Amino acid sequence: MKTFILIHGSWHSAWNWHKVVPLLEAKGHRAIAIDLPGMGRDKTPIQEVKMKTTVARICELIDGMEGKVVLVGHSKNGIMISQAAEYRPEKIEKLVYLAAYLVPDGKTQREYSIQDTGGLLKPYVTMFEELGAHTLQPEIYKEGLYADCDDDITELAKILLSHEPVESGITPLQLTDENFGRVPRVYIECTEDKAVTPFIQRKMYTETPCEKVYSMATSHSPFFSKPAELVDILCNL
């Protein structure tokens, strides 16, 4: 039995994994999907959310688990699992980057995002400077995030998506070979992704090599469109 901790991406929350959790549990594993600070049901004011405290929340959860965990990070929050691995390398069996930002030491998520000129989302991002946050306009949800998902996912997103804190995207990662570098990592690329495009995914896992790269012919959200295929990959890492 493995313990999976599932970390959602920008604007989202634990509901990302509502199809994945029962499938992992049916295969005898433990699966925990959390709302990061300020997201979903977590009521931390968005203007107070910082990368440091978000990573601390993940580490606190890891500390409460018996044995090692598999950390799965989606999209922007690949940066969170990387930083958590720096602080808890002995507790993490594997890092799994699902169409996620795999950023090296001293670099930021934004530095890679701005290179991803083929993505569809940036023109639809609305900034709220007073909150240190931004939102995504609903008209791009379907094409940009859920192109191969059932329409009810887009409708749920219109209700559930929220502000995303900016600070974490401009905070340089602090990683070492001695800690982060010794945790095995794999990458799951989404070849039809229009949010974090295949171009930038491949650039990242080429610059920071992984022990294995899996490919899924999906949009940015395989946990909605092909949850069984995703779970098969996770169970056979």
Q: How far is CA 232 from CA 50, 67, 170, 209, 229, in A?
A: 34, 22, 34, 22, 5
Q: How far is CA 112 from CA 135, 177, 182, 212, in A?
A: 19, 21, 23, 21
Cα–Cα distance between 170 and 153 in angstroms, integer?
29
Dihedral sign of CA atoms 57, 58, 61, 63 in order:
negative
Catalytic residues: 75, 193, 220
Taking a C-beta distance cutoff of 8 angstroms, is the pair 12, 161 a contact?
yes
Cα–Cα distance between 195 and 144 in angstroms, integer?
6
